[in-house]
Amino acid sequence: MVETSGGRWRLHLHGQRRSAAAFLAANKTLLAAVWVAGFALVFLCQSASMFAAGGLLGILAPPPRPAPRLRPNAYNLTDFGGVGDGRAVNTLAFERAVEAIAGRGGGQLNVPPGRWLTGPFNLTSHMTLFLAEGAEILAVTDEKHWPLMPALPSYGYGRERKGPRFGSLIHGQNLKDVVITGYNGSINGQGEVWWSRHRRRMLKNTRPPLVQLMWSKDIIVANITLLNSPFWHFHPYDCANVTVSNVTILAPISGAPNTDGIDPDSCQDVLIENCYISVGDDAIAIKSGWDQYGIAYGQPSSNILIRNVTVRSLVSAGISIGSEMSGGVANVTVENVRIWDSRRGVRIKTAIGRGGYIRNISYRNITFDNVRAGIVIKVDYNEHADDGYDRNAFPDITGISFKDIHGQGVRVPVRAHGSNTIPIKGITFQGMSVGISYKKKHIFQCSYIEGRVIGSVFPKPCENLDVYNEHGQLVKRAAMLNSTEVDYDI
């Protein structure tokens, strides 16, 4: 409304204010839509400049962590023509990089994010292979890219097939000071093709491991993931001072035959810690050669510590010793281990013809979760390299201790069967409480065994063992019952 007063115009806004308020009340949805459209327009304008500068995701995502410089000389795989697209074969790039590092007396090879397809290649001494976050080394699947190598001397004519064997994807011999690490990059053996060929008996040679280092020392494998090996994942052979830490190892829990996780073989001074392993065979298996060939090679596995690991093996065992142990296995400690959804928890396996010994083995603080058989000692694992094994080569099993063993959902907590030619001597059970899932009489099975029980042990132990209380006082002498009891197919 407009009024005149003394020749002056005066504008009154009361009506307009009421009209505006009424308009806002009646058109809230329209105004909200306009506001959103305006905000989106501003956002898109800003985004256009972002994409022009290299992409929105590149700006919002944190940049890749640079590889730490762990050696004086450092190289990137791309410096040698590497292409990480998952299609180009980078074998030559890896070989050139390792050659350059060897020529400088050592160095570091950085593998950037990407999928780096390659055939087998060798490492060199004083070398660090560093896998960035998002880096994946992929094994080629065509056999023609895989060289053949002589059979391992402690295995005779070959592990699966007589004659030469396929070399590993990442290999090294007679090396010193080798590190394979990273920001949890991965090495993928793409083993599906190999497993299928093995099942169909199409292979004429033993399948390749994923990583194998031989006759080497001062080895560290840490902070990486190993996947889908054609055969064993990490196989240090006759090595000393080996550390495996914070490593994840994965393969299908069925249909991936012999994909052991870590197999120290005739090795000394080994530490395996803080690992997660779920594979198609033994998660960890300590070995030292096979029958007469292992006896002749004569190199034991000793001074091995396995701690703080979680493992699963639906078809085999979490932690195994043997069955190839003809050079001997001694001074092994396994502690703070969880074994879940597995056929067996911890297992010692051997046979007539192996010879050698298994001595001073200590298991502490072991937890079984849904495990069919918790503790297994088997002396009739009758798989041999050939028919030339010595029928009088009896392995010696002495000094095996189990302390603080716990679990739930275990069908048979203990199955420890020696024989009249391979008795189990000096075994100890102390502080054991395992919840059972199979309400049968013989769930703690023993035969040809000598040893003792200390303190509280559940379920009730077999009669073959002396019983002591918590103070070390003898409560009951053993009754020698050496009949082999119910097997339950475990």
Determine which helix (DSSP H) or strand (DSSP E) holds 413, and give its type and residue range: strand 412-417
Distance CA 258, CA 243 (A): 22
Length of the chain: 490
Those residues whose C-beta lies under 8 Å from the C-beta of residue 349, and which sit 6 or more positions away, are 320, 321, 322, 323, 376, 377, 378, 381
Locus of tokens 């000094």: 399
Q: Which residues pair with 176 in a beta bridge?
A: 217
Distance CA 22, CA 437 (A): 75
Helix axes 14-26, 28-52, angle to 10 degrees: 70
Pairing, β 176-182 against β 107-111: unpaired
Write down the number of H helices and E strands in the chain: 6, 34
Task: Read off the DSSP letter of residue 338.
Answer: E
The answer to whether residues 476 and 466 touch, using CB atoms and an 8 Å cutoff, is yes
Q: Supply the DSSP string of 16-82, one letter for each residue.
A: HHHHHHHHHHHTHHHHHHHHHHHHHHHHHHHHHHHHHTT-HHHHHSPPPPPPP--SSSEEEGGGGT-
Catalytic residue status for 282: no
Q: Which of 346, 305, 329, 318 is nearest to 154 (CA)?
A: 329
Task: Read off the DSSP letter of residue 93.
Answer: H
The answer to whether residues 403 and 366 touch, using CB atoms and an 8 Å cutoff, is no
Burial of 1 (0-12, 13-18, 19+ CB in 10 A): exposed
**Which of these is catalytic: 260, 281, 291, 369?**
281
Distance CA 166, CA 258 (A): 15
Distance CA 351, CA 123 (A): 36
Pairing, β 8-11 against β 2-5: antiparallel
Pairing, β 396-410 against β 357-378: parallel
Locus of tokens 């994409």: 51
CB half-sphere exposure, 361, CA atoms < 13 A: 25
Catalytic (active-site) positions: 281
